[in-house]
Amino acid sequence: MQKIFLPAQHSPIHGLDHATCYRALSAKDSRFDGEFFVGVATTGIYCRPVCRVKTPRAHSCHFFPNASAAEAAGFRPCLRCRPELAPYALQQNLAHAIWHRIASGALNFGGNMQQLADHVGLSTRQLQRLMQTHFGVSPVELAQTARLLFAKKLLQETDLPMIDLAYAAGFGSVRRFNALFLERYGIAPSRIRRNTSNRTNLNNQSADAITLRLAYRAPFAWDEMLNYLTGRLIAGVECIQGSGPQRFYLRSVNLSHGDQELIGWYRAAHLQKEQQIEVQVASQLAPILMILLDKIRQQFDLDANPNVIESHLKLNPLLAPQCSATPGLRVPGAFDSFELAIRAILGQQISVAAATTISGRLARGFGTPISDGFIPDSARQDITHYFPRAAQLAQNKVTELTQIGLTTARAETVLAFAKFAADGGLDLAPGIGLQQAVEQLKTVRGIGDWTAHYIALRALRFPDAFPSGDLGLQKALAKQLGQEKVSATQLQLEAEKWSPWRGYAALLLWQSLSHNP
């Protein structure tokens, strides 16, 4: 067990001082969940600011910007509030972009510091210094904390065998997992599983599925999220089932893992009372759970802080009514960046409904059919294919694509983008700016400003991306202004006021076309 090292009581992150953090802790304020963690000197345990235990005295509290810093100081994670459930604190800078890569497994399964440093464009020494400066710990310590917390999550929420659990969390062996867990937390993994009181998820487990939960910062406009996705679903690849508050999203999954290609499915449902998303995953996807859950977090924008975003957008009288009408509105992301990008290309200059029809034809015509037994029986009619991979689609000919209803020019763009993605064009370096990303996308012939910004917004997760050429956005702004129409230039100028959350403003404007507060 590590000895507790108590840091100076100073700003942990975002300029928050000790007094501000303590007030947020005392109020159990969910707006700060994931923004900082509190270590309690009298217990040696660190918690999320929303933990429901009795608030400790201020002089016993020491605040940290991340879980790794708390563990480096010798604190153990709370078994009640479970720090591994906290939403991420997202910042648009290089250090946080690298941290996110590490937290989602960049140093697991053969990944190493040199590879990460090369990808970022830094030396290993510069990488070490950057992480130490921003987070107070090394990249290796960040990776170890991420592995341990993810393993703890699996221990408390699943009944995976220890060998599968250790491997899914990024450990090379069960022995190494057991030793590090005991050294860091002072308790054997098996005792965590035996002592876990909240085993409700295990009641939902089956032999062919793993059930996990992902937390978010409330509120969450789940219905609006599903409504947006409903009109843009790729038939045969994804679907929405159920009705009312019981609606859920389900899709096929086809991901590479080393030399293997793992296939399966996942299902996401909303647990509003718990402020969580319940995810069921095909058991054969267990080796890539860490990567898979990170993709799901991005697809449903679970790390957004709606209170911060809306407090900024509500300052604009054009957006304030819609903010109040749909609190917790998020930007629907993408499970697969290439898939979303192709869907965006198919939607160029045609209606949403027409693009949805053609995307379904493309999936059925060029994707891989799903064999019996790989999808739940209740979804067999809706989920029939895996979306084609970039290299797979790039091997086709223009004439083959025109047979599903594409023009020759559009088919050429699809194939050019498939080759671009297969060559790593979508694998952007951490910390790259929005304009750089847009310009890189526009190097593909047929990709203009609208398509590039739409891909940057939904697939590459740039919150300030804004497709000002979108006719729907122009129509929505004209409606708000009481004008007959506005130009892309007018829209762009108006959107300057909404930065750095222009992407969320775009969702509010799209939403206003179907819902007028």
Q: Which residues are designated catalytic?
A: 47, 470
**Contact predicate 401/414, CB 8 Å:** yes
> How far is 482 from 424, CA to CA, in rounded Å?
45
> How far is 488 from 499, CA to CA, in rounded Å?
16
**Contact predicate 413/349, CB 8 Å:** no
Which residue, among 504, 514, 488, 508, has the nearest Cα to 319 in the 3D structure? 508
Q: Encoding tokens for residue 243?
A: 């009705």
Q: If 0-12 CB within 10 Å is exposed, 13-18 middle and 19+ buried, where does residue 291 land?
A: buried
Q: Phi and psi of 106, rounded to 5°? A: -60, -25
Please give the distance of CA 402 from its chain centroid, rounded to a whole number.
34
Residue 98's H or E segment, with its range, is helix 94-103
Q: Encoding tokens for residue 74?
A: 């010798």
Q: Encoding tokens for residue 482?
A: 């009481």
> How far is 445 from 411, CA to CA, in rounded Å?
11
Angle ∠(489,500,32) on CA atoms, nearest 5: 155
Q: Phi and psi of 413, rounded to 5°? A: -65, -40
Q: Which segments within 427-488 are labelled E, that is strand?
A: none
> How far is 154 from 160, CA to CA, in rounded Å?
7
Q: Phi and psi of 39, rounded to 5°? A: -100, 130
Contacts of 401 (CB under 8 A, 6+ apart): 362, 410, 411, 414, 415
> How far is 179 from 185, CA to CA, in rounded Å?
10
Q: Encoding tokens for residue 139?
A: 């990249």
242 DSSP assignment = S
**Contact predicate 244/227, CB 8 Å:** no
> How far is 458 from 476, CA to CA, in rounded Å?
19
Helix runs in 305-433, H state only: 306-313, 320-325, 337-346, 352-366, 390-394, 398-402, 408-422
> How far is 79 from 196, CA to CA, in rounded Å?
8
Q: Encoding tokens for residue 159?
A: 């009944």
Please give the distance of CA 299 from its chain centroid, rounded to a whole number.
5
**Contact predicate 292/285, CB 8 Å:** yes
> How far is 361 from 346, CA to CA, in rounded Å?
11
